[in-house]
Amino acid sequence: MEEFYRQGDEERRLGLQISPFMDREQPKLAQCQKGFLEFICLPLFEAFDGFVNIPEIFAQLQSNAAYWASQVDGPERPTATSLPMPSSPPPAAPPAFRPSEPEAGDDSKV
């Protein structure tokens, strides 16, 4: 937020209207975080979840969004389970890593 506030300070110094979320004299951290999560993070991760199954990450992101929404909208905090989850199946375990053994007389793999 400090970078935002510095921009607001400069706008104030120049006599300009201070941009939303940039005024350190009227901080709106919860609204800023809520908007960032709702309009940037959630759509990005929803799209990403279509390619890589990330239910744990997506659930945490939804929980974070619910928390910040509760800080703006009221004292009751919605739970992550009350929010929709992506419909992708659970991830398969990744294959075990096994380094290949160099063939006898092959110094190129050492």
Q: Is the pLDDT of residue 44 over 80?
A: yes
Mean pLDDT in residue range 101-106: 58
More confident residue, 110 or 50: 50
Q: Is the pLDDT of residue 13 over 90?
A: yes
Q: What is the CA radius of gyration of the chain?
A: 23
Mean pLDDT in residue range 52-78: 80
Nearest to 89 by CA among 62, 57, 60, 49: 49
Q: Give the DSSP letter string of 27-93.
A: --HHHHHHHHIIIIIHHHHHHHHTTS--HHHHHHHHHHHHHHHHHHH-SPPPPGGGSPPP-PPPPPP
